[in-house]
Amino acid sequence: MESTDYLKVLRRRWKIILASGLLSALVVLLLVQPEASGLGARSYTATATLLQPVDGALGPEFTALLVTTGPVPVAVAEQLDYAGEPTELSALVQVSPDAETGAVQISTTSTDPEQAALIANTFAEATLAEVADRTTGAVAGVPPIELLERATPLPNDDSLLSGPTTQSGRLVLGLVVGLVLGSALALLVERFDTSVRDRIDVQRAYRVPVLAEVPRLPRSARSSRGVIVKTDPASTAAEAFRSLRSSVLLIPSRVLLPADADQLVGPTSERGRPQIILVTSARAGEGKTTTAVNLAAALAESGQQTLVLDFDFRRPDAHRYLDVINGPGLSDLVHAEEGEHELRTLCRPSAVDGVRMVPAGTMIDQPPALPTRIAGLLSDARGLADVVIVDSPPMLLGNDAMDLMPYVDTVLVTCRSGRVTRDQAERASELLARLRVPVVGAAFIGWRASVRNLGERIAHRSGALTNSEFPRRDTGASAHRAES
């Protein structure tokens, strides 16, 4: 991946990164103490140096032995009022004799510099007294041993790398470590995530252009099942559906070829501007119906008489968006005897001006007569509106959508971010290629608009053209259809 791809991943997986950072900071703050972990404990070493003649009565090795055994630790414990065993106290010092120079170094390390110096110097003084007692026969004028240098505490180099001692410092340290680990975890999750999440994924999987990117709708709009083009015409989502309207009518459709063909995209369709547009998706929950009703509203907004046909007998929902009662509809029509119902009589006005619809109806249990009646139904629909929007079932949930495709002018695929995997999208693309139906492109649903994207759109909301005109097929016929 390129650097921009990594940034996209980190932005998309920010919840993982933030959760990891906060959890790590909390763990470090509550469970890791400086005394137990060594974090923040700057250590100091104090060294006292004794010097005795090389040819003296006692050698440096024997003097070093006296420092940690016998009367010296006992005397030091008494002087320091040490309550523990003298052997425990002697374990705090390190003794280094040098036979060539006669030097004996007594060192101790502690986080308290004064304590380190006190212990080293006390051991040195007690050793001086003990050696003096043992060398009564020393050469006159030559001291058996002397204190060459008193102990001075010095910070250890490794203590410069120690962690913070304050709660705020440890909190920051834990947060930084957690953010780093969270970033690594986010990249790992992304590596194994096969869902389609951006327009590049959509174009690669479906092999069609993305005609519009519709941002994630507010929770209120999703729960109310409203037509955003009508209820919030100045919103970013409404502008996206208007952009989709323009693209669907003006961009030529193309036929997909099988994945093993020399070319993945076939020739441009010669059907001209589409009149019957089938809206479908790979699986349920990808915004198919939302796209269908809002596309219809955007078309009506531009002066087109639009008819919505709800052929999704598995999950009929378009009538709720358009505020139409789901009475007799398409399923009843395909079950009826010849001449009992006509498509024209089942058309109902909706809450959106210029949009009528035929609901799924009351007999929605997979009508067996559907394949034999589709051609006639869609042929009749061409005479009832300028543009017909067909809301079909998802492609991977049954054969219903494939039964409809040979009789429509073009197919519009919807894809919701994170809802479908690349494998599922590719399977849907193969179905479209197998049927050789013209596909105009895809609508990418549910992307999260960045601050920059929102700013660009808000800047020109006041000047949005909500009533831009498109050439109509037959003005007189449209007026007649609207009256019927």
Q: What is the pLDDT of residue 466?
A: 39
Q: How far is CA 234 from the centre of its chain?
A: 29
Q: Which two tokens stand for residue 31?
A: 């469970």
Judge whether 349 and 378 are in contact, CB under 8 Å.
no
Helix (H, G, I), strand (E, B) or coil at 87: helix
The distance in angstroms from the start CA to the end CA of the chain is 58
Q: What is the pLDDT of residue 393?
A: 93
Helix (H, G, I), strand (E, B) or coil at 121: helix
Torsion sign across C-alpha atoms 447, 450, 453, 456? positive
Give long-range contacts, CB 8 A cutoff, 24+ apart: 421-425: 421/194, 421/195, 421/196, 422/194, 422/195, 422/196, 422/201, 422/204, 422/205, 423/194, 424/282, 424/283, 424/396, 425/196, 425/201, 425/202, 425/205, 425/206, 425/282
Q: What is the pLDDT of residue 458?
A: 42
- Assessment of whether the complete model's pTM goes beyond 0.75: no
- Beta-carbon contacts of 151 under 8 Å, excluding residues fewer than 6 positions away, are 46, 47, 48, 106, 107, 108, 116, 117, 120, 121, 124
State the pairing for strand pair 348-349/355-358: antiparallel
Q: What is the pLDDT of residue 391?
A: 97
Mean pLDDT split into 10-residue runs, the chain, 484 residues: 69 81 81 54 83 74 86 90 86 88 89 89 89 67 67 65 64 83 82 83 93 85 81 93 95 82 56 90 94 97 96 91 91 75 90 95 68 87 96 91 93 93 93 93 82 43 39 42 46
Domains of the chain: 3-38+162-192 (no CATH), 44-160 (3.30.1890.10), 199-483 (3.40.50.300)
